[in-house]
A = this chain, B = another copy of it.
């Protein structure tokens, strides 16, 4: 397991972590400049932030600072009520792949979607098995496109509390079943994003991380494409926007990092915190400084 205590070489900042300071949307360019100022070498931006800043401008900034992208947030949201909706999702996901390529991201993270309409409070149906089937088909189709672009797709299993509205892939086991079905050859084109917030509770987590790192006949080909950290607070005040800073909650993050690294992951540890009540109420520099400290002491 790598020693993180001496520097923050392997720290990445998901730009949502500092996007809404004191209620004001922060321009992505400012976030990138702040990261560079703190000696942070990798980020993971969101598509809407990139769109607002303009892809060419972001690309230039990223290259200018020599920043890596630990991932690109995000593709997915495959299920839809009709064929037109699924086609729109397909096209939008292809654009996401193109953008990820332009930014030289390590992978495109997939938040796969749940019941169509549920995110807006009006689920079109209750058939989660149908959504899962559409997710399977959607990833299969996108994978062809992504392979041609050499952009790896990272399925992110989301916490089961998001099964209805954000992602109906909710465990590592389920995500890896999709990987095995769609990429049996372990080409590297399809894998998973392990976010400790979503999977820490899973009694099969260690076993599934080991599975992700082990190919057929014991061949070591890791499907572990991204590693996201934050913490689970007790109590948690909000289902979406009350994530904790690493070390402030109950997740044994170093233990999980040990598992992913023992199974082939050697990339960035990406901090992704949505926090209306706490971290979004502070200045960007303070948040980034805290991320650096906790990266060294609690990850």
The chain A residues found within 8 Å of chain B, CB to CB, are: 115, 118-119, 121, 123, 126-128, 132, 159-161, 163-165, 168, 170-171, 174, 200-203, 232, 234-236, 239, 250-252
Task: Give the distance in Å from the alpha carbon of A251 to the alpha carbon of B160 in the complex.
Answer: 13
A119 adjacent to B160 (CB under 8 Å): no
Task: Give the distance in Å from the alpha carbon of A163 to the alpha carbon of B196 in the complex.
Answer: 13
Question: Which of A123, A159, A164 has the largest number of chain B CB atoms within 10 A?
Answer: A164
29 A-B pairs (CB sep. < 8 Å) = A115-B234, A115-B250, A118-B250, A121-B234, A121-B235, A123-B250, A126-B250, A127-B252, A128-B200, A128-B201, A128-B252, A132-B203, A159-B161, A160-B160, A160-B161, A160-B202, A161-B161, A161-B236, A161-B239, A163-B201, A164-B201, A164-B234, A164-B250, A165-B235, A170-B202, A171-B203, A174-B203, A235-B239, A239-B239
Known: A170-B201, A239-B239, A250-B115. A234 touches B161 (CB 8 A): no
Task: Give the distance in Å from the alpha carbon of A200 to the alpha carbon of B118 in the complex.
Answer: 15
User: Which label, helix, strand, loop or mixed, suits the secondary structure of the A interface?
Assistant: loop
Q: Which residue of B lies closest to A236 (CB)?
A: B239
What B residues does A159 contact at CB under 8 A? 160-161
Known: A160-B160, A203-B132, A203-B174. A165 touches B127 (CB 8 A): no
Question: Which of A123, A127, A159, A203 has the largest number of chain B CB atoms within 10 A?
Answer: A203
What B residues does A251 contact at CB under 8 A? 126
Q: Which residue of B lies closest to A203 (CB)?
A: B174
Min CB distance A278 to B, Å, is 15
Min CB distance A210 to B, Å, is 15
Q: Which residue of B lies closest to A242 (CB)?
A: B239
What B residues does A163 contact at CB under 8 A? 200-201
